[in-house]
Amino acid sequence: MSTSKTITYTLFIGVLQRSNNNYPLNTIFRATHRPYGIDLPNHEASGRFSNGKLIPDILAAKYNIKDLVPPFLQPNLSDQEILTGVCFASASSGYDDRTSLSTQSIPVLEQPNMFRSYIARLTSIVGDKKAMEIINNAFVIISAGSNDFILNFYTVPARRLEYPLISDYQDFILKRLEILVQEIYSLGCRNIMVVGLPPIGCIPVQMTAKFRNIFRFCIEQENIDSVLYNEKLQKVLPKIEASLSGSKILYANVYDPMLDMMQNPSKYGFKETKRGCCGTGHLEMTLLCNAVSPLCWNRSEFLFFDSIHPSEATYNYIGNLLDTQIRGWIAA
């Protein structure tokens, strides 16, 4: 690994609340309507499940790559967009293929198929040698997992018969992640950041799911589960890195900063952390968060935009932390 590294290409895999969901015709989880995107430069919904930019956009802008990272399935992508990076992520998907069955999103382990198509397009633009140079030097961010636990273990316990213990299901998810990393490595990726779980028990819709939770406390057991998963993830990533020659795999901790935002909101300028900005903020997301939903005016003071997805303000804080970690890696 070179000691003088720069980031000029970005690729994103996983969930990341992105607009690849705009294009599979049977996908039901979309953000193609107001108020999603209300704080983007053009104030238009683009498939991002928030009021504004997401972490891929924020990081790409910090490295002067581009202001908005487009989804790979967006029609008529320019050669320049291909050259500077795209997003393969699909909202409501997960490492577990079963997660996508109910939402008709693109499973995370199928997203490398889009990556192969991307490589073919890239090669047609710059040739084989330059294309592989771009892929080798690209910075890849993988973010997924929350939907797997919410949709398959907590809200709809579809996987509990097969995996009675949450620890066993966590091991299954981590194995799926390992398969994904190995696959994108085989396609040429070398610089990879894997995002851990947030405090799932503090997501507004999860607090709502506990009907007696009138004071809207975080669900402690779900947070404990997230911590355990993240601990396992931090142990397995170095092992994966050691098995893949020339790779650099970073762990991104989003749990601690998000929990701190919830416990010390005033430090970040937040006034509301237990509900989203859209509607009641307890249940509304995707189609239930729409143009007729009441909307808060002080969106930068809300940790969440809808009942599951953070606001742009939250993503900015997380993006700044990831940026610091990435720049530390660049300087090493």
Is 41 strand, coil or helix? coil
Distance of alpha carbon 218 from alpha carbon 166, whole angstroms: 18
> What topology is assigned to 10-331 in CATH?
Rossmann fold (3.40.50)
Q: pLDDT for 184-214, tens place per residue?
A: 999 999 999 999 999 999 999 999 987 666 7
Distance of alpha carbon 130 from alpha carbon 210, whole angstroms: 53
List the Cα angle 88/90/95 in 5-degree steps.
95
Going by pLDDT thresholds of 50, 70 and 90, the confidence category of residue 100 is confident
Question: Does 156 or 118 have the greater pLDDT score?
Answer: 118
- Looking only at the bridges linking them, the beta strands covering 272-276 and 139-143 are unpaired
Which residues, listed in sequence order, are joined to residue 194 by a DSSP beta bridge? 142, 251
What counts of helices (H) and strands (E) characterise the chain?
11, 7
Distance of alpha carbon 106 from alpha carbon 194, whole angstroms: 19
As to burial, measured by CB atoms within 10 angstroms (0-12 exposed, 13-18 middle, 19+ buried), residue 177 is buried
Q: Where are the domains of the chain?
A: 10-331
Distance of alpha carbon 59 from alpha carbon 89, whole angstroms: 16
Provide the pLDDT for residue 28: 77
pTM for this model (two decimals): 0.93
Q: pLDDT for 9-55, tens place per residue?
A: 666 666 554 568 888 667 778 899 999 999 999 999 999 999 999 99
Distance of alpha carbon 330 from alpha carbon 326, whole angstroms: 6
